[in-house]
Amino acid sequence: MFKKILIANRGEIALRIIRACHELGIETVAVYSSADELSLHVRFADEAVCIGPPPGSESYMNIPSILSAAELTNSDAIHPGYGFLAENPEFAQVCTDNDFVFIGPSAETILSMGEKATAKKSMNEAGVPVIPGSAGVINSVGEAQKIASEIGFPIMLKASAGGGGRGMRIVKETDQLERAFVTASSEAKSAFNNGDLYLEKYVEKSRHIEIQILADQYSNVIHLGERECSLQRRHQKLIEESPSPIIDEKLRQKIGSAAVQGAASIGYVGLGTVEFLFDSKSKEFYFMEMNTRIQVEHPVTEMVMGNDLVKMQIRLAVGEEIPSNLAQQKLRGHAMECRINAEDPSNDFIPSPAKVEEFYAPGGNGVRMDSHVYAGYEISPHYDSLIAKLIVHSEDRNTTINRMQRALEETIIEGPKTTIPFHQAIMQNSDFQAGNFHTGFLETFVYEE
Ligand code: MV4
């Protein structure tokens, strides 16, 4: 086992990783920007190194500074968390080249899954269902026109270097295709320094279903069921749950097997998530993207599967085998996560960074709160607005929704505006309660204070 892990991240996920390390008897090194000196990840880690000024680009994404900190503290491994450098293949490679274990898959794997058109092609070749469309990157408007006329409109143009909803365009008819192609490509070029686009049939009223997978160095690959992530606003997930209210055991095994098969085909090692688009009408599912990091919403899987995914991720990085009982684990009950952001839901979710004057985390049976916030903590405008994840678990979905309402009710966060009242409104919505929603649900959900 590693003796010491450096956590190249901040906020709740840095704390989450520190907790896993300490339970495993591993020493921890926090890195922090000058804005985060008073953060709990700095306080809870065994050692802490300041790596730069507040902007993430100069601190949490500053590769030379992070490597110097790892060197200085004699760390064995580096955990990147999510965001920042978590899916940066150069960072993974530089860690390895400097004899630090990167806790994640190889740089090569990160790179191949980061190019979305390539990832889709690999999965198609592995027999994983993909959305009908171009076989890879499209090279000209003419080619796009030809494919679009074959599969029919509406279609979607997606940036190969994008992902997570960045650099996408719906095209409804042939007249709009040329313009959309040119502008989407130039936007992708300036945003990602790569103008490559691919094309696919637009699936209406879809749901976002993702499968948690684990793979060890001995060719064992397993899945731990799905997470339902359709409740997003502008591609930011707000509520996630496991299991999905629309997936039965048979479908779960079918999608899970597809994810396992896809990961195995590329020699994946580590923890990962395979995202699928689920067509509510036809009940077909299609590969969308693969994420090579630990995800924000991982706790809902932990609650229903009764395991610790961050510990598993560390064990896989050390080279341990997946324990044989893990794949046999039965799904237990229902878990849901509400992302509490310092944002104003009645004012277009504008960020509300402020000093937290009062803070009380809810508790009781089946309630978990992952947060780095405390009374007196100053929320910095430099980073994302996630301040807490409220995760609730019970025997079934209705009881979980009821328990979530109770937990939201007793959460006290004074100072910033938060998404708590928005979550309370969703919990009371009858379509949400019936499990009747799709990825467009929150865009049309009317919220009034
Ligand atoms: C789609 C789609 C419909 N048809 N692709 C958004 C995130 C990125 N991973 C892909 N996304 C979508 N791709 C086809 N062919 C609809 C979306 C989409 C979406 C997907 C998941 C969750 C929320 C979403 C919100 C809007 C659009």
Mean pLDDT, residues 143-150 taken together? 96
Q: Kindly state the greatest CA–CA separation across the chain.
A: 62
Q: Which of 353, 446, 340, 334 is nearest to 401 (CA)?
A: 334
Catalytic residue among 169, 293, 397, 403: 293
Annotated active-site residue 293? The verdict is yes
Residue 313 Cα to chain centre, angstroms: 15
**pLDDT surpassing 90 at residue 163:** no
- Quickly state the pLDDT bin for 322 (edges 50, 70, 90): very high
Percent of the chain exceeding pLDDT 90 equals: 95
CB of 165 within 6 A of ligand 1: the answer is yes
Quickly tell me which residue has 């580590």 as its tokens. 270
Backbone dihedral region of 167: left (phi > 0), alpha (psi from -120 to 50 degrees) or beta? left
Mean pLDDT, residues 410-429 taken together? 98
What value, to the nearest 5°, has the Cα angle with vertex 112 and ends 262 and 1?
80
Is residue 41 within 8 Å of residue 64, measured between CB atoms?
no
Cα 228 to ligand 1 centre (Å): 14
Using CA of residue 70, residue 74, residue 77, residue 79, what is the dihedral sign? negative
Using CA of residue 88, residue 90, residue 94, residue 100, what is the dihedral sign? positive
- Quickly state the pLDDT bin for 327 (edges 50, 70, 90): confident
Q: Please give the Cα distance from 316 to 260 (Å, whole number).
A: 16
Answer with the residue of higher pLDDT: 222 or 327.
222
CB of 169 within 6 A of ligand 1: the answer is no
CB of 200 within 6 A of ligand 1: the answer is yes
**pLDDT surpassing 90 at residue 167:** no
- Give tens-digit pLDDT for 336-388: 999 999 999 999 999 999 999 999 999 999 999 999 999 999 999 999 999 99
Cα 325 to ligand 1 centre (Å): 35
Name the residue of 157, 168, 169, 444 whose CB sits within 8 Å of the most ligand 1 atoms, as the mutation to test its pocket: 168
- Quickly state the pLDDT bin for 448 (edges 50, 70, 90): confident
What is residue 165's predicted lDDT score, i.e. its pLDDT?
Answer: 75
Q: Please give the Cα distance from 140 to 321 (Å, whole number).
A: 46
CB of 277 within 6 A of ligand 1: the answer is yes
What is residue 154's predicted lDDT score, i.e. its pLDDT?
Answer: 97
Is residue 374 within 8 Å of residue 40, measured between CB atoms?
yes
- Give tens-digit pLDDT for 185-237: 999 999 999 999 999 999 999 999 999 999 999 999 999 999 999 999 999 99
Mean pLDDT, residues 113-141 taken together? 96
Burial pattern 334-343, b for ≥16 Cβ within 10 A else e, equals bbbbbbbbbb
| pTM, full prediction | 0.97
Q: Please give the Cα distance from 410 to 443 (Å, whole number).
A: 27
Is residue 71 within 8 Å of residue 98, measured between CB atoms?
yes
What is residue 18's predicted lDDT score, i.e. its pLDDT?
Answer: 98
Q: Which of 327, 328, 278, 261 is nearest to 125 (CA)?
A: 261
**pLDDT surpassing 90 at residue 90:** yes
CB of 289 within 6 A of ligand 1: the answer is yes
Q: Please give the Cα distance from 187 to 195 (Å, whole number).
A: 7
- Give tens-digit pLDDT for 234-248: 999 999 999 999 999
Q: State residue 135 phi and psi, 5-degree precision.
A: -75, -15
Structure tokens at 280: 């509510």
**pLDDT surpassing 90 at residue 164:** no
User: Mean pLDDT for the chain?
Assistant: 97
CA-nearest residue for atom 19, ligand 1, is 439
